[in-house]
Amino acid sequence: MDNCIFCKIVKKEIPSDILYEDDEIMAFKDVNPMTPVHVLVIPKKHIPNLLEVTKEDERVIGKIHSVINKLAIESGIDKTGFRVVTNCGEDSGQEVKHLHFHILGGRKLGSKV
């Protein structure tokens, strides 16, 4: 998508602090972190949200979760706990219409939604 900020990050048109990259997935630090560790993990393929995931996308979604585990271990939040959040649609607060998973950790998180 031409106007998608995450697609521009994938194409390296916008600089970001990339923590992981392969042919299908990219992970980078959030520019406005809500926690000491705040990483976004995205498929490089433009998928607007979870409702748009197809049968063909299932493998890469599973791989994304393996990358999340790897990044949690590398950042040390695997020992104390972390949260993974995916917003889907306007009411959820999804601001960028490109599927992404937030890894949040590095401090005690409350139980509020």
Active site residues: 100
Residue appearing with tokens 């949040």: 104
* DSSP 8-state assignment for residue 5: H
Distance CA 89, CA 97 (A): 8
Distance CA 78, CA 94 (A): 26
Question: Taking the CA atoms of the chain, what radius of gyration do you get in angstroms?
Answer: 14
Cβ atoms 95, 34 nearer than 8 A:
no
